[in-house]
Amino acid sequence: MTKRQLPVPAEMLELMQFKKIELNGKKRRLDAALTIGDLRTIAKRRTPKAAFDYTDGGAEGELSLSRARQAFEDIEFHPSILRPAEHVDTSVEILGGPSALPFGIAPTGFTRLMQTEGETAGAGAAAAAGIPFTLSTLGTTSIEGVKAANPNGRNWFQLYVMRQREISYDLVKRAAEVGFDTLMFTVDTPVAGARLRDKRNGFSIPPQLSIGTILNAVPRPWWWVDFLTTPKLEFASLSDTGGTVGDLLNAAMDPTISYDDLAVIRDLWPGKILIKGVQNVEDSVRLVEMGVDGIILSNHGGRQLDRAPIPFHLLPQVVREVGSDATIMVDTGIMNGADIVASMALGAKFTLIGRAYLYGLMAGGREGVDRTIAILRDEIERTMRLLGVSHIGELEPRHVTQLTRLVPVTRTTGEAARLV
């Protein structure tokens, strides 16, 4: 029989340690966020629907986005046992320079609409973390403003080749002059994808807001105060080029861009050049033959062609074909540090995060972006330790299996469709 006794207050106090109350509301909510999904939940609560959906949504039925995320969930890790990994090194050498983590911040447009610190928060957080930050052509902080926010870190510039080519050429020259080290030429936007959430929310130029959208925004006074008491929202690097915001958006989507444009940009740019939006092996081979430094397998975060190829699925094929001749990166669908570890194991040299960064920004400005990076860093380190891996360079294809959910169907002459 267990001997019974009256509770001893001193012993009870040893078992019950009360958590210190955090009076800072922003810090309290960010500390409570343990995953990128948690940051997304906070972001959705704090941001008007039109702005949140612009970030969160994809094209048409959003199949490209959901499939990309599902692909990362459909993996199986293969850990090695009795391989101590007490200290892990997450740093990589990428395009001739260091990064403390195997990911950087992807280019995003309209960023200050999500939260008014915008690219300044992203660039500052990237600088503090020792990772690259990428500014979009359609960014809401200027090239020079990002350089000021990240004066000693690695800044990359994403380029849309616009109908007025001289505008794009001038942006290339400005980025080079202030010391951006890498140019990211985006090639998957000959026309804009059909982003139905934006249309339903009246998120257009000029805005055509519904009563529901307005009512959704009213109970978020903190967003309105920030939006109305900070500088005008504009495409900062294009502010002196003339035309309305709508004109600039239309000019940024040009169905006439070609390999000839790539050759011109390559001649103008003195640093490393990446091609973003590559979606098959054949184009990867041709780009490497043209001498590009790197390829980003991406379907634009599922925001352009719906039902586009899944970048993570393409990764092993492209690495086999051209991985020894160019730097292969991947984006779209990354929501966990384990997604990044899996990508690196299958041959990617680097990854990029877009929505994950913006969820943090909407959840808490600069501190929210810091929290995004901290969450991903913790997940990367924990996954590596559990795999028995001490350095990113030790990750290999044997550590990951891509499980099959979507199986291609091929047809051969005289035969019915068969699964392969």
Q: Quick one: angle between helices 36-46 and 25-32, nearest 10? A: 140
Nearest residue to 401 via CA among 324, 345, 337: 345
The end-to-end CA distance of the chain, in Å, is 65
Q: SS3 string of 305-329?
A: CCCCCCHHHHHHHHHHHHCCCCEEE
304 is an annotated ligand-binding site residue: no
Torsion of CA 136, 137, 138, 141, to 10 degrees: 70
Residue 193 labelled as part of a binding site: no
Does 140 count as an annotated binding residue? no
In angstroms, what CA-CA distances link 52 with 31, 194, 226?
21, 17, 15
Which DSSP symbol is given to 263?
H
CA dist 385 and 113 (Å) reads: 38
Q: Is 186 part of any known ligand binding site?
A: yes
Alpha-carbon distance of 346 to 317, in angstroms, equals 10
**Residue 160 annotated as binding site:** yes
Catalytic residue (one of 78, 87, 300, 391): 300
The two beta strands, 294-297 and 327-330, are: parallel
**Has 151 been labeled as part of a binding site?**
no
300 is in an annotated binding site: yes
Q: Tokens for 59, please give them.
A: 């094209």
- Is 276 part of any known ligand binding site? yes
**Is there a binding annotation on residue 109?**
yes
DSSP string, 34-48: -SHHHHHHHHHHHS-
Answer yes or no: is 355 a known binding residue. yes
Burial 106-129 (b: 16+ CB within 10 A, else e): bbbbbbbbbbbbbbbbbbbbbbeb
Distance CA 111, CA 122 (A): 10
The answer to whether residues 330 and 341 touch, using CB atoms and an 8 Å cutoff, is no
The amino acid at residue 325 is D
Which residues, in sequence order, are bridge partners of residue 155?
133
Is 132 marked as a binding-site residue? no
**Is 87 one of the catalytic residues?**
no
Is residue 55 annotated as involved in ligand binding? Answer: no
Query: Are 376 and 353 within 8 A, CB to CB?
Result: yes
Residues in CB range of 80: below 8 A, 6 or more apart: 387, 388, 389
Residue 298 is assigned to a ligand binding site: yes
The residues assigned a catalytic role are: 300
Q: Residues at the annotated binding site?
A: 54, 107-109, 136, 158, 160, 186, 195, 276, 298, 300, 303, 354-355
Residues within the annotated binding site for FMN? 107-109, 136, 158, 186, 276, 298, 354-355
Going by the annotation, the residues of the binding site for glyoxylate are: 54, 160, 195, 300, 303
